[in-house]
Structure 1
Amino acid sequence: MQRWSYFRNHAMHYLTPLMVGIEFVDEYRHIPEARVEVLRIAARHGIRAGFSIPLRVNSPPQSAIMTFSGDHSRRQMQAIVRAHGWTLNVAALMGHQRYLMLFAQEFPERNQITEKQLELLKMIGAGHQDKTIAAELGISISAVRQRLNALIQNTGITSRAELAALAMSLGVLPDPFNRPGQYPADTLVEMDNAGTRILRSSQNSPP
């Protein structure tokens, strides 16, 4: 990341949304002319103003940002944010959560982790040592360590604590900070041009 990337630098340190684009360049701290020229080029291609929402990725720690932008004047963009700012913020957060879920689901495929390695990952996450794992799987300790070395090579993770954290991130083990409630979700909110509808089912609700 280059230091003069103002809005990206903002996203690294703050969670407050930010107005971006050539229409809001006067609100930026000092940025080089090269950056202003990038904004001018974007404006010529229909991206004059935008609303950027900082996001967070926890495993591994990273900063992200989602921007809603278009060919809008400063006044038009401010009106959009006043009318729909909360909706855009929620949409960004929900989209980000969906992305994180799909990204985690694809991790084994991206890193060529086999079913046997996932099984090993679950046992390591549960705190089992090599001897116990070997006994449960009916294989030798050396075979367990070979499988572990392959898992380490595929993931780049070297400690058992990090492997346990990975197991929770992938859903192989339950995350203690994200436990489902006693009762399943029973409320569905639908929003479209026809309005907002809230549908509830009492089938699994507590008495």
Structure 2
Amino acid sequence: MRDRTTVVLVDNDETTTESLSKLVTRMGLRCECYHSGLEFLENYDCEIPSVIVSELRTADVSGLQIQRILKDRGCQVPIIFLTHYGSIPLAAKTLRSGAVHFLEKPVNEQEFWDAVLEAVAVADRWNNERLRAEEIRQRMESLTEQELEVLQMIGEGEPNKTIAATLSVSVRTVEIRRSSLMVKLNAKTITDLIRFTLQESNGYHETFVGGLVPTHLAVSAGTNNNNNGSH
């Protein structure tokens, strides 16, 4: 966790960033400092696992604007807000917008320490989920149209004989395609295969995890459905 996550401080108060950066270093975490919201936005890399600690009222771009811009960019990152002018309504607003914590200046060292560790844990979990989703996406992209057909029917609970009859192929062909699916999706059991295709959402609902149907296969499936409907 600590080897992968960077704490990014955004505050035009150099005294604050200097003291907090020393604390972050003592925690064994990497630290980057920006004294301008615009400078931060110009240099921030969403792909690097990080936690952002931002002054709510920076001189050029506010903390809430930074949060909104990062969301628009598709960046999922935990944010801790700091401010000299705290209030319950303001704290509630930042938390509703997705902030992990809202701390008043001067920052209590223990509160800051606890907030950063919690945010780092969140960042670590989100990063693992992102990496897992990307792995699934890449594995799904490796499937052929024929393998996808078999995978979909496995998700429906169909046995090999039924799949073979529906696709007008031999049972052996279905077995070969299923074996290939097991390898490409790194599945150990048939249950693992089903998890790639199904999830529970208000009942038993067919879908690929996260909507990760490969584009080239989704187009083919759409074409096949249209053709089937025309007969």
Same fold? TM cut 0.5: no
Higher fraction of helix: 2
What is the TM-score when the length of structure 2 is the normalising length?
Answer: 0.41
TM-score normalized by the length of structure 1 = 0.45
